[in-house]
Structure 1
Amino acid sequence: MSLLSHHPRRLIIAITGATGVAYGVRLLQILRDLPEIESHLMISDAGVLNLHQELDMRRKDVEALADVVHNVRDVGASIASGSFQSDGMIVAPCSMKTLASVANGLSDNLIARAADVVLKERRRLVLMVRETPFNLAHLRNMTSVTEMGGIIFPPLPGFYHRPQSIEEMIDHTIGRVLDLYAVPHTLTPRWSGLKSET
């Protein structure tokens, strides 16, 4: 018998102050129904404001969706160490402030520190950046994160599957993100090629 205890797969989720908090909430809802994955959540103060503005949700409502909740100011939390094993981290949505902190290794709060740890341990970091249009600082920060091994994933909706609702557009995007972590799902139909003209 192995002396090592079996741990579920772990995903770190952060919700920051960009528009699009519905992506983070939907991601947590999906992970909640997957017992093989343990979710670790952080919400920035600006993220809390957007939860109220965009979804009429309170912090505690969203935190209830996660397996473990961390205070964004607790830089001594378990996820701040490389010894904490995880499959990686998703920032959904990712503000330009958080992007800049990650790109420059500031680690000024637990979100930026956890992202820094994921990068240094060569794990998968996905930043669902939200801003438009981008200025040069945004683009340079995205380049820096990409060069460090992170994935820049703006939540741009696809229309080839002919979504009938905002919810379907969100699910399509979240499904693509989950694909990056090999998490099985049925959120959106798989591409089967273009339909031929009749």
Structure 2
Amino acid sequence: MSKRLIVGLTGASGSVYALSLINTLALMDWQIELVMTPTGEKVLAYETGADRSALPQNVTIHENTNLFSSLASGSYRTSGMVVIPCSMNTLGLMATGTGDHLLARAAQVTLKERHPLVVVPREMPYNIIHLENMLRLARAGATIMPASPGFYHHPQQIQDLVNHVVGRVLDQFGIEHTLFERWSGV
């Protein structure tokens, strides 16, 4: 399995999830192929104070306008892609196969190559269009994972809630972690 994962970061609130995922993967020596929408990059800075210079060295940033990026080709080997957080706008682009931006194109390539695509919607409430777009993506092979942290591990800090969501995302790719205590029954 390639230790390379595509991370898409959109303009939905919740960029702390993406930053935590990136930092966790970087500590595990994964190569992160990052695509940010312009609004996603602004929200990252606004919500976390992080900008491009604050990202780990094993992050390669691909410009969302660069359709000549390696991520636009099925021959580029990755373990899959996660879009975290995923705005409803980007969700709609992915669901309809619109690929005039790299993030949506990389999602299409991930699906066509039958690699895992994990979509973490963060907006709410959902309207019927959002739900139908999620269903369309799920039928195409994506895993839809709303940012809904669990509480059975008795979180004490916000980072505990973030870690639960990020850990569940890592689970979808079979990546071992210790971000939260797993449920073992009562």
Q: How would you bin the TM-score normalised by the shorter chain?
A: over 0.9
SS of equivalent residue, structure 2 residue 176: coil
1:41 aligned onto 2:29 = no
Partner of 1:107 in structure 2? Answer: 99
Select 2:85's aligned residue among 93, 99, 103.
Answer: 93
Aligned residues of 2:13 and 2:122 also touching (Cα < 8 A): yes
Question: Which structure has the greater CA radius of gyration?
Answer: 1
In structure 1, the gaps of 5 or more residues are: 1-6
Identity of counterpart residues, as a percentage?
Answer: 41
Aligned residues of 2:91 and 2:133 also touching (Cα < 8 A): yes
Q: TM-score, normalised by structure 2?
A: 0.96
Structure 1: how far apart are the matches of 2:19 and 2:58?
10
- Quote how far apart the aligned CAs of 1:131 are: 1.2
**Structure-to-structure mapping, 1:20-169, within 5 angstroms:** 20-35=14-29, 37-62=30-55, 64=56, 66-169=58-161
Aligned residues of 1:14 and 1:111 also touching (Cα < 8 A): yes
Partner of 1:17 in structure 2? Answer: 11
- Quote how far apart the aligned CAs of 1:59 are: 3.2
- Quote how far apart the aligned CAs of 1:38 are: 1.6
Structure 2: how far apart are the matches of 1:65 and 1:163?
30
- Quote how far apart the aligned CAs of 1:65 are: 5.1
Moved over 4 A (4+): none
Partner of 1:188 in structure 2? Answer: 180
- Quote how far apart the aligned CAs of 1:67 are: 2.9
- Quote how far apart the aligned CAs of 1:57 are: 2.0
Aligned residues of 1:130 and 1:155 also touching (Cα < 8 A): yes
Structure 1: how far apart are the matches of 2:140 and 2:164?
27
SS of equivalent residue, structure 1 residue 171: helix
Aligned residues of 1:41 and 1:66 also touching (Cα < 8 A): no
Partner of 1:3 in structure 2? Answer: none
Q: Mark the CA change 1:54 to 1:67 in structure 2 (over 3 Å): closer, same or farther.
A: closer
Aligned residues of 2:81 and 2:107 also touching (Cα < 8 A): yes
- Quote how far apart the aligned CAs of 1:52 are: 2.2
SS of equivalent residue, structure 1 residue 93: strand
Could you report, residue by residue, the CA deviation over 1:115-137 in whole angstroms, capped at 9, with x for unpaired residues? Answer: 00000111100011011110110
In structure 2, the gaps of 5 or more residues are: none
Q: TM-score, normalised by structure 1?
A: 0.90
SS of equivalent residue, structure 2 residue 174: coil
SS of equivalent residue, structure 1 residue 168: helix
- Quote how far apart the aligned CAs of 1:34 are: 1.3
- Quote how far apart the aligned CAs of 1:66 are: 4.0
